């Protein structure tokens, strides 16, 4: 299991990226999502805060969409 976070600051395209705690790109301004086995569950949790959320390209690639 990993701790996941969602970036409170949107990317230029409006997405709020979901990151695992071991990702080198975890932002400073983040919302703690809790422990999840897979990024899919973490993205669902992130969408409670930010409707336009998806996975980080580097640490949550299965949940990343361009």
Position 11 scores a pLDDT of 96
- Interval 9-49: pLDDT, tens: 999 999 999 999 999 999 999 999 999 999 999 999 999 99
Query: Which pair of tokens denotes residue 16?
Result: 């709020």
Rg (CA), the chain: 10
Indicate the pLDDT class of residue 61, thresholds 50, 70 and 90: very high
Stated pTM of the model = 0.94
**What tokens appear for 51 in the block?**
């409707």
The pLDDT value recorded for residue 66 is: 72
How far is it, in rounded angstroms, from Cα 47 to Cα 24?
22
In whole angstroms, give the CA distance from residue 11 to residue 34. Answer: 22
């Amino acid at each position: 299991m990993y701790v996941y976070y969602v970036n409170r600051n949107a990317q230029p395209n409006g997405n709020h990226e979901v990151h695992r705690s071991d990702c080198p790109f975890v932002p400073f301004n983040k919302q703690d999502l809790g422990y999840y086995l897979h990024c899919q569950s973490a993205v669902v949790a992130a969408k409670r805060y930010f409707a336009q959320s998806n996975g980080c390209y580097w640490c949550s690639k299965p949940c990343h969409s361009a």
